[in-house]
Structure 1
Amino acid sequence: MERMKTDVIPGGDTAAGAGGTPSGGAHAGGGRVRGPVPPGGFPYSPADEAKRRGVRRMKTLATCLLIGVALVYALATWAKAAGAGGWAGYVAAAAEAGMVGALADWFAVTALFKRPLGLPIPHTAIIPTKKDQLGVSLGDFVGENFLSGEVVRQRLRKVGIGRRLGAWLAEPKNADRVTAELSTALRGALTVLRDSDVQAVVGEAITRRADAQEVAPGLGKMLEKIVADGGHRRVVDLVCVRAHDWLAEHSDSVMTAVSGGAPGWTPRFVDRKVGERVYKELMRFVTEMRDMPEHPARGAVDRFLRDFASDLQSDTDTRERVERLKSEVLGRGEVQDLIASAWSSVRTMIVAAAEDENSELRLRTRAALLSLGKRMAGDGRLQGKVDGWLEGAAVYVVTTYRDEITSLITDTVASWDAEHTSKKIEAHIGRDLQFIRINGTVVGALAGLCIYTVSRLLGG
């Protein structure tokens, strides 16, 4: 009996060996919270230790009850033999059946976690020996009953994520929180990205897109619309004003240039007179063009631009020349450097906007989140769309990666140490299992009493 008690009531650091002999004192480890954790084992938290102490108390109670009914059986048997009366037989029968029930349930409970009395009885120590099979079965059970597309879809539909998310986002404090988190994530992402990589990608994308698409027709349509709307006139006005001012400031340079191009045999005063005359005509022409919106030269500019816009769209030679010019411009190092440097400017601008709580980026993001939340909270169609998107995404994940998810369970269970897995599980459910032993003792005693009573009544 003492050997059995040692087997069913291990101490905090006592582990039964193959022969049922404890490897340490049953009470020596009572004050220690945890020992070294072996590979594949579990660290025992204070809560786990409290549960294990509760299991030990229940084991002691169940074993004491077994010892008690054994003593009752011995005394009742002695009393019956001594002629104490018929009551002794009833008590002895109840105590005997109680012992049988207690021993049977002790064997059943103990067989879950270890071999009773260390004996190699078949189908015992179920959890340590069948740990891997239990992990596979658990993984299959989870996959079939929790990771099926229909189960996930029905569960998400009952939750109503779209409505709840909308109501949550409609709260200003929650919108502020999401905005702050998005800003942090954006800054983190931009910090992680290397400028050289992004610049290379942006430059290559712009260059490839520009090479793949002909620009002349688009430029022609844009120029045609600008001329039709009169948008070019301000440019013409600016050119005329600048030309007039330049001529006024550089009159000597103009007259010298004209005189320098005259034949050598002409007198110098004639060259000077010709230069002055040319300069005055240029000034008159530019002044009239500047001051007269209906000047014939302006009309000629309009006709030239319209013709050029038409040629950009329909003239093959013009379009080919524009394409060659485009390739030459894109191939220049200065243009590539400009494209690459654009990313640095954009990143700096975005990071600054993300860090500033009053920036237009964050204010617009917050307003958009509040608006989206209010719409989702009250718009059933939008809620249905959001729920459908989330359901579809969740179903895709669980159906596509079901094997990977269940293998996480099976592989994790397989990596556990068998002995410590058994101890961990026993710490969590062992207390309830000890009630089975207590109930088995009580129910066995009542059943034995009933059987003995019936047999006495039937036997006269």
Structure 2
Amino acid sequence: MDRMDAGSKARPGDGLSAGDLARLVALRRMKTVAAGLLVFVAVAYALATWAEHSGAGAWAGYVAAAAEAGMVGALADWFAVTALFRRPLGLPIPHTAIIPTRKDQLGESLGDFVGENFLAEDVVRARLQAIGLARRLGGWLAKPENADRVTAELATGVRGGLTVLRDADVQAVIGEAITRRADAIEISPGLGRVLERIVTDGGHHRAVDLLCAQAHDWLVKHRDSVLAAVEDGAPGWTPRFVDRRVGDRVYRELLRFAAEMRDSPDHPARGALDRFLTDFARQLQEDPETRARVERLKGDLLHRPEIQELIASAWGTVRAMILAAAEDERSALRLRARTAILTLGARLSRDERLRAKLDGWVTEATIHVVSGYRKEITALITDTVSSWDARTTSRKIELHIGRDLQFIRLNGTVIGALAGLAIHTATRLLGG
């Protein structure tokens, strides 16, 4: 009987995977066994019938009846199994070749079955609660070798992500984000508060000390420049020697003033500077005109090409730092990531509240995805089956369940034979 189906069976190399080829071999082996049993009972029936007609005795009738019923059972089950995948003997018998002709309906039914029985909210919730994901994850992450593995995988992912990203695109996004954020935030009040706090705490004194020292050193090194500036600013009718004496006096006064400011923390000019900074800090926070001027200055600076280039170039520096840290197993970044993973694993192992919270998040997220996308998930099954042609569908299903279906043929032969034997025995006992 199986020889009749040879033309529709899958053949090695016909787009089959290694697993499909192994299933094909097992299927053909079982078909051979089932067909061999049918041939056996057919031969037994022929010999028993001949022996009965030859006067061999009553036993021949029992054997013939059992063999005859076994043939009927084998043929009936062969028809039933074959009708699932193709038309028996190629005849257009109604309700045969069920899988090829009804594959779309079967795909829809399979999708509905999965959706109702595997993607139901209560099923998913019960399964996730039984798994104890947080406890298992904590125990796994708490092992150093697993933490090393996760750290290495994260580093690989970071390197891969940074390699895929185009620097120009990232720089443009960063520049736009920083500029937009800076434009949206008024910096004047914040600067005023910072300046007020610095002046109150005396944090600006070092800067003033440095400025005074630099001013004094500059005057010492550039005496001629100061004298020339004074002489150039003098009226044209004054004698030159007078201009030089005035310039020298101005220079000595400036040098003395710079030295006194440098060496005297209580110099009146320093106090005046403190009062100026205090007033300026208050204006930055309260004076609308000052705040508006600071905002205009901020906008002018932000939109200068040099500032935009500086903002964009920061990505290159950050990218190089991250790549170097990701590639170095002993870098601070990877060591901290490993420590964080181990710490997380230890906390999950001992903190029941944290585990419950994580399990709740995972459960709710999974249920949200399942509930919101159940149709899309089941549509994957339906659409996949629908996209197969009839022959492919029949072949795939037969390769997966066909071997087990052959046991139906074997059982049909055996059960048929036993039923035939029982009927023949009962007939003889009743005097038939």
Give TM-score, length-normalised by structure 2.
0.92
Q: Does residue 179 of the first structure (1) align with residue 151 of the second (2)?
A: yes
Asked whether the 8 Å contact 1:259–1:275 carries over to 2, the reply is yes
Where does 1:94-105 land on structure 2 (aligned, <5 Å)?
Answer: 94-105=66-77
Post-superposition Cα deviations, 1:210-250, rounded to whole Å, max 9, x if no partner, equal 22111111110000001011110001000110111111122
Q: Does residue 15 of the first structure (1) align with residue 7 of the second (2)?
A: yes
Q: Does residue 207 of the first structure (1) align with residue 199 of the second (2)?
A: no
Q: Does residue 52 of the first structure (1) align with residue 24 of the second (2)?
A: yes
Q: Which residue in 2 is equivalent to 1:395?
A: 367
Q: Which residue in 2 is equivalent to 1:285?
A: 257
Q: Which residue in 2 is equivalent to 1:361?
A: 333
Q: Which residue in 2 is equivalent to 1:434?
A: 406
One-letter code aligned to 1:53 = V
Q: Does residue 352 of the first structure (1) align with residue 342 of the second (2)?
A: no
Post-superposition Cα deviations, 1:144-187, rounded to whole Å, max 9, x if no partner, equal 21122332222222212212222222222222222222222222
Q: Which residue in 1 is equivalent to 2:270?
A: 298
Q: Which residue in 2 is equivalent to 1:43?
A: 16
Q: Distance in 2 between matches of 1:83 and 1:162?
A: 79
Of 132, 136, 147, the residue aligned with 1:160 is 132
Q: Which residue in 2 is equivalent to 1:419?
A: 391
Q: Distance in 2 between matches of 1:67 and 1:135?
A: 37
Structure 2 runs not aligned, ≥5 long: none
Range that drifts further, 371-380 or 254-263: 254-263
Q: Which residue in 2 is equivalent to 1:34?
A: 12
Q: Distance in 1 between matches of 2:25 and 2:161?
A: 50
Q: Distance in 1 between matches of 2:22 and 2:285?
A: 85
Range that drifts further, 260-269 or 351-360: 260-269
Q: Distance in 2 between matches of 1:215 and 1:431?
A: 77
Post-superposition Cα deviations, 1:379-401, rounded to whole Å, max 9, x if no partner, equal 11222222222222222222222
Q: Does residue 6 of the first structure (1) align with residue 3 of the second (2)?
A: yes
Where does 1:273-352 land on structure 2 (aligned, <5 Å)?
Answer: 273-352=245-324
Q: Distance in 2 between matches of 1:359 and 1:77?
A: 89
Q: Which residue in 2 is equivalent to 1:19?
A: none
SS at match of 2:299: helix
Cα distance 1:305–1:136, how it changes in 2: closer, same or farther (>3 A)? same
Q: Report the CA distance between 1:81 and its aligned residue.
A: 4.3
Q: Distance in 2 between matches of 1:319 and 1:50?
A: 80
One-letter code aligned to 2:3 = T
One-letter code aligned to 1:117 = L
Cα distance 1:206–1:135, how it changes in 2: closer, same or farther (>3 A)? same
Q: Which residue in 2 is equivalent to 1:25?
A: none
One-letter code aligned to 2:384 = T
Post-superposition Cα deviations, 1:169-207, rounded to whole Å, max 9, x if no partner, equal 222222222222222222222222222222222222222
Q: Distance in 1 between matches of 2:138 and 2:31?
A: 53
SS at match of 1:317: helix
Q: Distance in 2 between matches of 1:105 and 1:91?
A: 21
Asked whether the 8 Å contact 1:34–1:44 carries over to 2, the reply is no
SS at match of 2:186: coil
Post-superposition Cα deviations, 1:54-79, rounded to whole Å, max 9, x if no partner, equal 33333333333333333433444444
Of 215, 227, 233, the residue aligned with 1:243 is 215
Give TM-score, length-normalised by structure 1.
0.87
Range that drifts further, 206-215 or 411-420: 411-420
Q: Distance in 2 between matches of 1:61 and 1:443?
A: 16
Range that drifts further, 242-251 or 47-56: 47-56
Q: Distance in 2 between matches of 1:423 and 1:320?
A: 78
Q: Does residue 126 of the first structure (1) align with residue 93 of the second (2)?
A: no
Cα distance 1:430–1:262, how it changes in 2: closer, same or farther (>3 A)? closer
Q: Distance in 1 between matches of 2:319 and 2:17?
A: 49
Q: Which residue in 2 is equivalent to 1:195?
A: 167
Q: Distance in 2 between matches of 1:372 and 1:304?
A: 52
Q: Does residue 140 of the first structure (1) align with residue 118 of the second (2)?
A: no
Cα distance 1:273–1:64, how it changes in 2: closer, same or farther (>3 A)? closer
Fraction of identical pairs, as percent: 69
Cα distance 1:169–1:238, how it changes in 2: closer, same or farther (>3 A)? same
Q: Report the CA distance between 1:420 and its aligned residue.
A: 4.0
Q: Distance in 1 between matches of 2:263 and 2:48?
A: 134
Asked whether the 8 Å contact 1:94–1:445 carries over to 2, the reply is yes
Q: Report the CA distance between 1:311 and its aligned residue.
A: 0.6
SS at match of 1:15: helix
Asked whether the 8 Å contact 1:227–1:306 carries over to 2, the reply is yes
Cα distance 1:176–1:443, how it changes in 2: closer, same or farther (>3 A)? same
Range that drifts further, 227-236 or 440-449: 440-449
Cα distance 1:131–1:225, how it changes in 2: closer, same or farther (>3 A)? same
One-letter code aligned to 1:250 = H
Q: Does residue 110 of the first structure (1) align with residue 102 of the second (2)?
A: no
Where does 1:215-294 land on structure 2 (aligned, <5 Å)?
Answer: 215-294=187-266
Q: Distance in 1 between matches of 2:62 and 2:165?
A: 85
Asked whether the 8 Å contact 1:112–1:124 carries over to 2, the reply is yes
Q: Distance in 2 between matches of 1:335 and 1:355?
A: 31
Range that drifts further, 49-58 or 309-318: 49-58
One-letter code aligned to 1:6 = R
Asked whether the 8 Å contact 1:224–1:309 carries over to 2, the reply is yes
Q: Report the CA distance between 1:302 and its aligned residue.
A: 0.7
One-letter code aligned to 2:12 = R
Q: Which residue in 2 is equivalent to 1:26?
A: none
Aligned residues: 432
Q: Distance in 2 between matches of 1:206 and 1:44?
A: 53
Work out which structure has the larger RCO, using CA pairs closer than 8 Å and 6 or more positions apart in sequence. 2
SS at match of 2:234: coil
SS at match of 1:445: helix
Q: Report the CA distance between 1:127 and its aligned residue.
A: 2.0
